Structure 1
Amino acid sequence: MKFSSVYPLRQNRAHEVCGEGALVFAAIAAGQAEGMVVWVSERWRPVINPEGLTPYCDPGKLLVTRADSQLDVLASMETALRSRAAGMVVGELTGSIGLTEGRRLQLAAEAGHTRALIIIPEGTGSNAAETRWRCTGVASGPDGDGPPRQNRPPQNDHDSTRWRWSLIKNKIGTLSEWVVHWDAAAHRVIVVSEAGG
């Protein structure tokens, strides 16, 4: 399966992401979305700092909002999706999401002609999601392979940071995974290798 057939994320659909690299995946997707991006999380969680996402996304296009509970996050996402005011809606969830809630987000994304990205805990998710991704870091050395560089964590060098993006649910095709890195100068995801069929 070609990476370009599943990424960028399809419009008018709800997608999910989990794993240690889920926030970076969401930030990159938000940076590639057209128009404003609504980012919703529960009030008790640490709030994302839009300035911290600058390597991946223009912080000026983010509207960060807080909700009192996961149910309120889902309701806020649905309202934002249906409004047609946002190019993308990101929601951070801390618990599982049922089929009914997932289907409501899918219908809202279709109605609003936008896309939803739900950051979920590992092992959760809804059968209604179009795709589900697992994102993990890949250690890289000076040439991109091997152990991390001495005294220089890979996450501090955005042009050499690599992730394994695994497509673990796909309603429209097969599953696959890729090793990718972020090219800050070109502002795009580069596929380094196909890690699995």
Structure 2
Amino acid sequence: MFLLWVLVMDRDFGNCYPPEKSRMHEVCGPGAYFFAFALAARLGGQVIWVQEKWRSEQINPSGFARFISPDKLLLVTTKDQKELMAVSEEALRSSAIAFVVMEASQPLTLTTGRRLQLAARDGGTMALAIIPEGVGSNVAETRWHCAPIFDGNFYSADSTLQRWQLIKNKKGTFGVWHVRWDREAHRVAMVSSIGERTGSSNLSA
């Protein structure tokens, strides 16, 4: 079936994205990196990305230059998740940092989640935990599931079409949206296929 994707306006999406600053959020799914870097571009400022050193896949800042300048991304590796959380908490308390991304390999304990939430509040910094699917903290303000959509009819030169689902939100709003990276506007734009929704107004977040 041929689908024509158009830019659309959705107030619910605009109310949910970008997520609230000074809070800890979570993302899972194969599109988690896309979500994290799109959010980093939206927030601006310095980003600290914390990983455990045993991970075989390491971030290459140059590979995400379309989102943020590599010199705005500081990569930190830790020996284990305990150290990862300690480093993340310290970074969150620094008002000089705009965004802290942590790749969690294990569930966050309630105590750890609360400490991170308090650190984000005190530092005025947003925290994002990239978590395995099916794992999440009760403390997280929001949780998103993100995955790429493969549609051969969609912008043949653009491979950024994604499906974002808000699966947890303490403010109560849930939803599913299709988005892409708008290179000219340098931000996320929501799209939909004709026949599923109406409208063709721009909405960038």
TM-score range, shorter chain: 0.7 to 0.9
Within 1, Cα distance between the matches of 2:185 and 2:118? Answer: 34
CA separation of 1:187/1:65 partners in 2, compared to 1, >3 Å: closer, same or farther?
same
Specify which structure has the bigger relative contact order, considering alpha-carbon pairs within 8 angstroms and separated by 6 or more residues. 2
DSSP 3-state at the match of 1:80:
helix
Instruction: State the 1:160 CA deviation.
Output: 4.5
Name the residue aligned to 2:69: 58
2:47 is aligned with 1:37: yes
2:6 alignment counterpart: none
Report if the CA contact (8 A) 1:98-1:125 is conserved: no
Q: How far, CA to CA, are the matches of 1:47 and 1:84 in structure 2? A: 26
Query: Residues of 1 paired with 2:65 and 2:72: CA distance?
Result: 11
TM-score (norm 2): 0.85
Contact 2:45/2:72, CA 8 A, preserved across alignment: yes
CA offset digits 1:13-71 (Å, max 9, x no partner): 00000000001111111122231111100011132000011122221110111111011
Q: Which residue of 106, 111, 116 corresponds with 2:127? A: 116
The runs of 4+ residues in structure 1 deviating greater than 6 Å are none
- Structure 1: stretches of 5+ with no match in the other structure: 150-156
Q: Which residue is 1:153 aligned to?
A: none
Q: Which moved more, 1:173-182 or 1:162-171?
A: 173-182
5+ residue gaps, structure 2, are 1-10, 198-205
1:138-177 equivalences under 5 Å are: 138-143=149-154, 157=157, 159-177=158-176
For the aligned residue pairs, the C-alpha RMSD in angstroms reads 1.8
Matched, 1:102 2:113: yes
Q: Which residue of 1 aligns with 2:177?
A: 178
Q: 1:43 to 1:143 in 2, by over 3 A?
A: closer
Q: What is aligned with 1:73? A: 84
Task: State the alpha-carbon separation in 2 of the partners of residues 53 and 95 from structure 1.
Answer: 25
1:9 corresponds, among 19, 30, 42, to 19
Q: Distance in 2 between matches of 1:88 and 1:22?
A: 15
User: 1:184 is aligned with what amino acid?
Assistant: R
Say how many residue pairs are matched.
184
Residue aligned with 2:101, SS: strand
CA distance in 2 between partners of 1:78 and 1:160 (Å)? 34
- Is residue 114–residue 139 contact of structure 2 (8 Å, CA) maintained in 1? yes
Q: Name whichever of 5-14 and 159-168 sits farther off.
A: 159-168
Distance in 1, matches of 2:154 and 2:23, equals: 37
More divergent stretch after superposition (94-103 vs 126-135): 94-103
For normalisation by structure 1, the TM-score amounts to 0.88
State whether residues 52 and 80 of structure 2, in contact with CA within 8 Å, keep that contact through their aligned partners in structure 1: yes
Contact 2:41-2:187 within 8 A present in 1 as well: no
1:86 alignment partner, SS class: coil
Conserved in 1, the CA contact under 8 Å of 2:16 and 2:173? Answer: no
In 1, Cα distance between equivalents of 2:70 and 2:42: 12
